[in-house]
C-alpha cells in the first residue's frame, strides 16, 4: 500500500472502483480455464457441447470411469512418492551444503561454491541425453530411481539455503559448540530450526516443480505403471481422442491437489514462492 | 539422535590431536563429500559428455564415431532447424514482453487495492500451481472448432468468423504461447508485488509533498527502484520461454510441432531427434546450440538492463 492511496478513502474515488473491477474481471478470466475444466469433468458426454459453466445434471461418473481401472491412482501415487522423496532429499542436502558453505571457513570453499553455482547455467535439456545414457548403462531406465536421480540436489536450493544460513548469528553455533554438540548436531538441531521459513519455501518450490515435471519422466519411463501423473495424463488424453469430458477429468485430478493445498496454505505458499524467487 | 558429549581426548588419538580449526575442515569436507560426488557425476560429467557427443555420429546402437563439427554444419543447412530457431526466438520475443507488461500493470494496480486484495491475488496466482501438461489439454479443447471449442463458440455467437487456431500456420504459435504466459503470469505478479512493497514509503511521501504527478512517480521512482526485480523476471521468464516444451508437446500431439512445424521449439526438436530418431550425436549438437542461445540471451539482457 503506497502513501498515495491514503490520501482519500478509496471508496470515494470512481477511478479506483473501475480499476478494482477491472482487476477482479481479469482475475476471473485467469481462472476461467480452471472453472471450465472442473465444470466439464462433472458433465456427461451428451452435455459437453453445452458450454454453460454450471452443469445441468452434475455427475461424478467421469471420475468413476477415469479412476476405475486404477491407472490414475497409480500415476497419482507415483507422482506423490517421487515428488516427496526428491523434496526431502533437496531439503536435507541443499541445506547441508548451503550451511557448510555459509558457516565453515576452509580452503576450497569458494571454488566449491562457484562450481555448484556454475551448474545453474547448464539447461536440463542439455543433460537429458547423457542422463539417458547413464540410466541405460546402470539399468535405471523405467525405474523410480531413474526418474528421481537428476533432481536429488539442486544448485538453486543450495544457493537459497546458503543465503539464509548466512543470516544465522555465529554466536548461536559457537554456544552450541561450547556445550559440546558435534557439528552435525549443531547443523541439524540448532541451525535448521532457525531457517524454517526458507526450508518451507524450498520444499514448496521443489515439490511443485517435481509434481509438474514432464520431459524427463517422459524420456526415462516406458511402462505405464511407472508414469508420473503428467506423463500418464498425456498418454491418456492421446488415447481418449475426442472424449473431452474424460480428458478434463484427468486434468482436474492432476490439478486438484496443488490447488487444494494452496487454498489451505495460501499465505505460506505465496511467501515461499516470493522468497525462493527473490533470494534464489 | 544421540548426542555424545565430545571431549578433546575422546575421539581417538588422531581426532583428539586435531585443533578445533582442523576439525572444522574435516567436518566441512565430510558434509560435502556426497554432494560433490553428486555434482561431479550428475552435472559436470554429463555436461562434458553432451559437448563430446555433439561431435559424434552416435545413434544409440553403433559405436560413436568422431565427426568434428559435421553435426553443426548439418544443422546450419537444415531448413527445419531455421524454422525451429525462428519459433524459439518468437516464443521469447512475444512471451517475455507481453507477460511482463501484463504482470507489472496488474501488480502496480493491485498493490494499491486493499479490498479483497488477497482474493484477487489468489485468482491471478492459481494458474501458476497447475500442471502445464494438464492445462495444455484444457486450452486445446478451448481452441477446437464449433460446437466443441469455447472460443469459437463465443466468436460465432457474436457473429464473428471462426478461427483455426492450432490448425493454422500463423495462429498456432501464439495459441501455444498463450497458456505458457497464462501459467507464468501469477508468479510474475507476486514477485512484482513483493518488489513494490520493498520500496520505502518515504520516497512516495517526498514526491507527494513536491506535487509530482503519478506518472512521473512511476517513471522516476517506481520503475528505477524495481530494476533488480525487473532484471530477475526478464532473465527468468526468457529462459522459461526459450525452453518451452510441455505445452507444445501436448497441444500438438497428433502432429508434433504443429502444421509445417509452425510451433516447434528447439527442445521439441531435440526430443524428437534424440528419442524418436535416436540420432544422439545430432541431438547433442542441438542441445549445445540451446545452451549457447540461453547463455547469449541471459548475458545480453544482464548487460543491457544493468547499464541502463
ipTM confidence: 0.88
Q: Give the Cα separation of B277 and B280 in Å (integer).
A: 8
Distance from the B140 Cα atom to the nearest Cα atom in chain A, whole angstroms: 10
Q: How many CB pairs under 8 A join A and B?
A: 284
Is B267 in contact with A214 (Cβ distance < 8 A)? no
Interface test with B, best of A1, A2, A201 (most B CBs within 10 A): A2
pLDDT in tens, A10-26: 456 788 889 999 999 99
Range of the domain at A34: 3-59
Residue partners of A241: CB distance under 8 A and separation at least 6: none
The reported pLDDT for the residue numbered A3 is 45
Q: Is residue A48 located within the same domain as residue A140?
A: no
Is B134 in contact with A255 (Cβ distance < 8 A)? yes
Contact criterion met (CB below 8 Å) for A249 and A63: yes
Distance from the A204 Cα atom to the nearest Cα atom in chain B, whole angstroms: 11
The reported pLDDT for the residue numbered B11 is 52
Residue bearing cell 454453460? A52
Q: What angle do helix axes A196-211 and A71-103 make, rounded to 10 degrees?
A: 140
Is B267 in contact with A215 (Cβ distance < 8 A)? yes
Contacts of A212 in chain B (CB under 8 A): 130-133
Q: Give the Cα separation of B198 and B191 in Å (integer).
A: 11
**Lowest mean pLDDT across A87-91, A267-271, B174-178, B210-214:** A267-271
Q: Give the Cα separation of B9 and B17 in Å (integer).
A: 8
Please, what is the Cα angle at A262 between A259 and A266, to 5 degrees? 150
Contact criterion met (CB below 8 Å) for B203 and B225: yes
Q: Above 60 in pLDDT, residue B89?
A: yes
Residue bearing cell 525405474? A143
How far are the Cα atoms of A93, A181, A211, A213 from residue A148, in angstroms, in the given order?
A: 14, 34, 12, 11
Q: Is residue A14 located within the same domain as residue A37?
A: yes
Which residue among A16, A42, A59 closes a domain?
Answer: A59
Contacts of B120 in chain A (CB under 8 A): 23-24, 27
CA gyration radius, chain A:
24
Distance from the B242 Cα atom to the nearest Cα atom in chain A, whole angstroms: 10
How far are the Cα atoms of B79, B173, B248, B286 from residue B280, in angstroms, in the given order?
A: 19, 27, 22, 10
How much is the average pLDDT of B66-76?
92
How much is the pTM? Answer: 0.89
Q: Give the Cα separation of B136 and B251 in Å (integer).
A: 6
Label residue A4 by pLDDT band (50, 70, 90): very low
Comparing CB atoms, the residue among A109, A262, A273 nearest residue B126 is A262
Q: Is residue A31 located within the same domain as residue A86?
A: no
Contacts of B214 in chain A (CB under 8 A): 4
Q: Above 50 in pLDDT, residue B5?
A: no
pLDDT in tens, A64-117: 888 888 889 999 999 999 999 999 999 999 999 999 999 998 899 999 999 999
Label residue B308 by pLDDT band (50, 70, 90): low
Q: Above 80 in pLDDT, residue B6?
A: no
Q: Is residue A141 located within the same domain as residue A80?
A: yes
Q: Is B56 helix (H, G, I), strand (E, B) or coil?
A: strand
Domains of chain B, start order: 14-53 (no CATH), 78-307 (1.10.3720.10)
Backbone angles phi, psi at B66, to 5 degrees: -70, 130
Q: Is residue A68 located within the same domain as residue A197?
A: yes
Q: Which residue of A has its CA nearest to B299?
A: A121
How much is the average pLDDT of B57-74?
88
Comparing CB atoms, the residue among A109, A208, A277 nearest residue B129 is A208
Distance from the B247 Cα atom to the nearest Cα atom in chain A, whole angstroms: 10
Which residue among A38, A59, A80 closes a domain?
Answer: A59
Residue partners of B27: CB distance under 8 A and separation at least 6: A104, A183, A184
CATH of the domain at A188: 1.10.3720.10
The reported pLDDT for the residue numbered B38 is 96
Q: Which residue of A has its CA nearest to B134?
A: A251
Q: Which residue of B has its CA nearest to A126?
A: B287
Residue partners of A155: CB distance under 8 A and separation at least 6: A116, A117, A119, A120, B43
Q: Is residue A28 located within the same domain as residue A162?
A: no
Which residue among A17, A43, A59 closes a domain?
Answer: A59
Backbone angles phi, psi at B56, to 5 degrees: -120, 170
pLDDT in tens, B99-120: 999 999 999 999 988 889 889 9
Q: Is residue A32 located within the same domain as residue A150?
A: no
Interface test with B, best of A30, A89, A154, A184 (most B CBs within 10 A): A30
**Of A272 and B291, the one with more pLDDT:** B291
Contacts of B283 in chain A (CB under 8 A): 129
Specify the DSSP class assigned to residue B160. Answer: P
The reported pLDDT for the residue numbered B292 is 95
The reported pLDDT for the residue numbered A223 is 92
Question: Element (H or E) spanning A251, and its range?
Answer: helix A244-279
CA gyration radius, chain B:
26
Q: Is residue A47 located within the same domain as residue A143?
A: no
Residue bearing cell 537429458? A128
Is A212 in contact with B270 (Cβ distance < 8 A)? no
Distance from the A126 Cα atom to the nearest Cα atom in chain B, whole angstroms: 5
Tell me, rounded to whole angstroms, the distance of Cα A160 from its chain centroid.
16
Comparing CB atoms, the residue among B106, B141, B190 nearest residue A26 is B106
- Copy the grid coordinates of residue A119: 551448474
Q: Is residue A20 located within the same domain as residue A97?
A: no
Q: Is residue A48 located within the same domain as residue A144?
A: no
Comparing CB atoms, the residue among B135, B190, B253 nearest residue A270 is B190
Comparing CB atoms, the residue among A104, A153, A254 nearest residue B35 is A153
Q: Is residue A156 located within the same domain as residue A17?
A: no
Q: Is residue A22 located within the same domain as residue A159?
A: no
Is A30 in contact with B50 (Cβ distance < 8 A)? no
Q: Above 50 in pLDDT, residue B189?
A: yes
Is B34 in contact with A10 (Cβ distance < 8 A)? no
Residue-wise burial string across A219-228, b where 16 or more C-beta atoms lie within 10 A, e elsewhere = bbbeeeebbb
Say how many domains are in chain A. Answer: 2
Q: Above 70 in pLDDT, residue B8?
A: no
Q: Is the omega angle on the peptide bond into residue A24 within 30 degrees of 0, that is, cis?
A: no
Amino acid at each position: 500500500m503506497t502513501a498515495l492511496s491514503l490520501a482519500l478513502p478509496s471508496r470515494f474515488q470512481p477511478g479506483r472502483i473501475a480499476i478494482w473491477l477491472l482487476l477482479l474481471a481479469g482475475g476471473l478470466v485467469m481462472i476461467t480455464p480452471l472453472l471450465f475444466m472442473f465444470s466439464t469433468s462433472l458433465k456427461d458426454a451428451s452435455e459437453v457441447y453445452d458450454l454453460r459453466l454450471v452443469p445441468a445434471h452434475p455427475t461424478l461418473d467421469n471420475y468413476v470411469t477415469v479412476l476405475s481401472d486404477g491407472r490414475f491412482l497409480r500415476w497419482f501415487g507415483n507422482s506423490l512418492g517421487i515428488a516427496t522423496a526428491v523434496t526431502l532429499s533437496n531439503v536435507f542436502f541443499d541445506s547441508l551444503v548451503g550451511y557448510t558453505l555459509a558457516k565453515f571457513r576452509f580452503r576450497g570453499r569458494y571454488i566449491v561454491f562457484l562450481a555448484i553455482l556454475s551448474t545453474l547455467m547448464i539447461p536440463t535439456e542439455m543433460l537429458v541425453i547423457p542422463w539417458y545414457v547413464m540410466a541405460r548403462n546402470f539399468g535405471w531406465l523405467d525405474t523410480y530411481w531413474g526418474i528421481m536421480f537428476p533432481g536429488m540436489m539442486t544448485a538453486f536450493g543450495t544457493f537459497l539455503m546458503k543465503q539464509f544460513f548466512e543470516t544465522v548469528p555465529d554466536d548461536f553455533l559457537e554456544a552450541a559448540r561450547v556445550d559440546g554438540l558435534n557439528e552435525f548436531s549443531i547443523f541439524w538441531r540448532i541451525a535448521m530450526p532457525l531457517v524454517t521459513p526458507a526450508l518451507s519455501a524450498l520444499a514448496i518450490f521443489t515439490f511443485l516443480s517435481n509434481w509438474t515435471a514432464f520431459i524427463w519422466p517422459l524420456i526415462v519411463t516406458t511402462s505405464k505403471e511407472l508414469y508420473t501423473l503428467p506423463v500418464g495424463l498425456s498418454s491418456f488424453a492421446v488415447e481418449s481422442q475426442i472424449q473431452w469430458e474424460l480428458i478434463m477429468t484427468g486434468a482436474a485430478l492432476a490439478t486438484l491437489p496443488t490447488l487444494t493445498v494452496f487454498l489451505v496454505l495460501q499465505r505460506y505458499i505465496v511467501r515461499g514462492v516470493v522468497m525462493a524467487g527473490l533470494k534464489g | 539422535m544421540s548426542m555424545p558429549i565430545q571431549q578433546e581426548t575422546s575421539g581417538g588419538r588422531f581426532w583428539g590431536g586435531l585443533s578445533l580449526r582442523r576439525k572444522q575442515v574435516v567436518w566441512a569436507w565430510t558434509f560435502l563429500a556426497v554432494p560433490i560426488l553428486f555434482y561431479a557425476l550428475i552435472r559436470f560429467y554429463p555436461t562434458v559428455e553432451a559437448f563430446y557427443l555433439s561431435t559424434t555420429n552416435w545413434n544409440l546402437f553403433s559405436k560413436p564415431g568422431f565427426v568434428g563439427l559435421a553435426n553443426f554444419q548439418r544443422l546450419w543447412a537444415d531448413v527445419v532447424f531455421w524454422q525451429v530457431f525462428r519459433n524459439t526466438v518468437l516464443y521469447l520475443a512475444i512471451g517475455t514482453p507481453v507477460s511482463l507488461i501484463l504482470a507489472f500493470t496488474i501488480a502496480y494496480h493491485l498493490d494499491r487495492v486493499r479490498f479483497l486484495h488477497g482474493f484477487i491475488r489468489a485468482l491471478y496466482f492459481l494458474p501458476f500451481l497447475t500442471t502445464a501438461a494438464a492445462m495444455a489439454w484444457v486450452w486445446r479443447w478451448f481452441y477446437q472448432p464449433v460446437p466443441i471449442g469455447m472460443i469459437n463458440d463465443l466468436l460465432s455467437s457474436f457473429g464473428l468468423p471462426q478461427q483455426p487456431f492450432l490448425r493454422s500456420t500463423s495462429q498456432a504459435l501464439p495459441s501455444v504461447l498463450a497458456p505458457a504466459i497464462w501459467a507464468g503470469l501469477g508468479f510474475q505478479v507476486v514477485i512484482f508485488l513483493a518488489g513494490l512493497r520493498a520500496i520505502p514509503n518515504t520516497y512516495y511521501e517526498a514526491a507527494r509533498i513536491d506535487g509530482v504527478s503519478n506518472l512521473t512517480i512511476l517513471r522516476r521512482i517506481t520503475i528505477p527502484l524495481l530494476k533488480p526485480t525487473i532484471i530477475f523476471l526478464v532473465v527468468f521468464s526468457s529462459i522459461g520461454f526459450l525452453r518451452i516444451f510441455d505445452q507444445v508437446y501436448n497441444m500438438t500431439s497428433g502432429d508434433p510441432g504443429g502444421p509445417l512445424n509452425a510451433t516447434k521449439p528447439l527442445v521439441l526438436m531435440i526430443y524428437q531427434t534424440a528419442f524418436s530418431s535416436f540420432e544422439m550425436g545430432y541431438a547433442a549438437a542441438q542441445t549445445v546450440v540451446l545452451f549457447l542461445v540461453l547463455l547469449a540471451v541471459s548475458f545480453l539482457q544482464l548487460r543491457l538492463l544493468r547499464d541502463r
